[in-house]
Amino acid sequence: MEKNLEELKLPYGQYTLKLKVTADGYEDSNFSNEVVYTSRPRVEKTSSISIEVYGLIDGVTGVQVYIDDVLVKTVDYTAEGASVPFVIDLTDVNPNDNATHNVRVVAAGEGVPENTSNTVAVYFGEAQIFSVSGEGASNPTLTRGDSAVGLGYTLNADGSITSDFDNCRPWSDITEVTDDKGNVFMRVPKHYTRYTFDENGYKKTEICVQKPDDTWLLNPIFTDGNGVELDYVDIGKYTASGSSSLAKSVSGASPLVNININNMRNACKANGTGYQQYDIWAHVMLQDLFKVEFATTNAQSIMYGYANGNSAAIASGRTDGVLTASGSEISNTDGKHAMKYRGVENWYGNVYQWMDGITVNSLKPYVCKDPTKYVSGSLPADYSAVSYNGVTGGNSRVKKLGYDATNPFVQVPTDLGGSDTTYYCDYGYYSSSTYRVVFVGGSWNSSLYAGPWYFYANNSATNTYSNVGGRLLRRPL
């Protein structure tokens, strides 16, 4: 049972709430535990064009808008009900300086108690669109479009990579953060994506930090699993280490392997609310960022990864000395050194990683968007089928990815037969058995099989291997 307390329109201030359950024919229950509730206006960010304000109570006649604690405008308000968002236009006070500012509001009116809303960070500036097209052709090199035209990168001799995207959002906004347990993450801010296809069926991918119109989509990784939008997601910087009791994302640790997908999920969740195992939505999000930045689906032409005939896994932290956002320790080309993409180390190579949120059942992919409902080894109602099937076959490279307009962020192979240098350049395999789980990336000796589009759906939920691990992920729930 849920109750929106804003509908009560309580005068602004702090309240102690407790509940008692009553029912005809039964004695009333004892009071519940006490919780503290603060009644105040609530701001939700929409864009640099406008904000939405909730929780305005009776008596409010105006709303004052503050940017960086400076009053910039006052807007008249007529009561419309606390559950109805009051939209405030910001175009006339937009600094338009391509910077992020703190925005809050204060509700004004005779007899209205002193109050101030939460503060939200709003980026004021041009909504740049970065795109690549031509995905799906045999040549993995993509064509840059929109604001990506003319941008590029340099593969430096020391393994670092200098990228023009270091000054482009959302890439430039990806930051390293550490939680109170010592886990290190790369925080990726919310952004929007649009996929379109040309007359040949080749895909164009566009990325923008704002939502230009309703044709743009939000990857489910930036929701709580039930449609509530999140400002960011934290991707484990390092391959998961620790134990089956508690997975970690720390430097200088051996990867946690010989663990099945269910136990890895539980080890990640043991960190607390919002923690989960790496999933399909995070994986596709990183794939999109990578291909737009480097304009290719041949990832190993940029960074080989620790995948070339090596004999064992390496500990985390090998790229800590790489000072650029992406690059490899010592060499990008020899396959003997760890790589990182936007801080995410060994995104491919070293050990494979279980990928949650997807089950393949008799070649049919099924996905779930709610991380609290992830399971493996069965297909509960929370998992929905995509509109296409996988393909049988092995020892072949991914040639084509499926597209389902109702699940556009599910991008898994539907055709194999490529090569090391054509199409997606990474290995793919499906089993026709039931309830297959998926691992991705590549291991220490995967050679040119490895990469972001490596996809292996041939294991049951109980399988464990010495070269398969995982990665921690956290949503701000």
pLDDT number for residue 420: 95
Q: Strand, helix or coil at 129?
A: coil
Rounded to 10 degrees, the C-alpha dihedral 344/348/354/355 comes to 70
User: CATH code for 40-124?
Assistant: 2.60.40.10
pLDDT number for residue 47: 63
User: CATH code for 130-474?
Assistant: 3.90.1580
Give the lowest-confidence range in 21-30, 91-100, 178-187, 468-477.
21-30
pLDDT average, residue stretch 305-332: 98
Dihedral pair phi/psi, residue 82, rounded to 5°: -65, -25
Q: Given a cut of 60, is residue 1 above it in pLDDT?
A: no
pLDDT average, residue stretch 257-282: 98
Secondary structure tally for the chain: helices H, strands E? 2, 35
Give the lowest-confidence range in 88-97, 119-128, 311-320.
119-128
Dihedral pair phi/psi, residue 166, rounded to 5°: -65, -15
pLDDT number for residue 379: 96
Spatial separation of the C-alpha atoms in residues 251 and 340, rounded to whole Å: 13
pLDDT number for residue 395: 65
pLDDT average, residue stretch 81-106: 81
pLDDT average, residue stretch 222-233: 94
Could you report the per-residue pLDDT of 95-150, keeping only the tens digit for each? 877 777 889 999 999 889 989 998 887 778 777 999 999 999 999 999 999 999 99
pLDDT number for residue 83: 53
Of residues 126 and 174, which shows the higher confidence score? Answer: 174
Q: Given a cut of 70, is residue 82 above it in pLDDT?
A: no
Residue extents of the structural domains in the chain: 40-124, 130-474
pLDDT number for residue 46: 63
pLDDT average, residue stretch 361-365: 95
pLDDT number for residue 283: 98
Tokens of 196: 């379109």
Q: Strand, helix or coil at 120?
A: strand
Give 31's pLDDT tier (boundaries 50, 70, 90): confident
pLDDT number for residue 393: 65
The terminus-to-terminus CA distance of the chain in angstroms comes to 19
Note whether 45 and 120 are within 8 A (CB): yes
pLDDT average, residue stretch 55-63: 90
Q: How many CB atoms lie within 10 A of CB 23?
A: 8
pLDDT number for residue 3: 64
pLDDT number for residue 123: 74
Note whether 263 and 270 are within 8 A (CB): no
Spatial separation of the C-alpha atoms in residues 275 and 472, rounded to whole Å: 7
pLDDT average, residue stretch 242-262: 98
DSSP 324-372: SSEEESS-SSSSSS-EEETTEETSSSSSEEEEEEEEEETTEEEE-S-GG
- % residues pLDDT > 90 (the chain): 77
Spatial separation of the C-alpha atoms in residues 79 and 196, rounded to whole Å: 42
pLDDT number for residue 13: 83
Could you report the per-residue pLDDT of 393-424, keeping only the tens digit for each? 666 899 999 999 999 999 999 999 999 999 99
Q: Is the pTM of this model over 0.85?
A: no
Of residues 82 and 343, which shows the higher confidence score? Answer: 343
pLDDT number for residue 48: 63
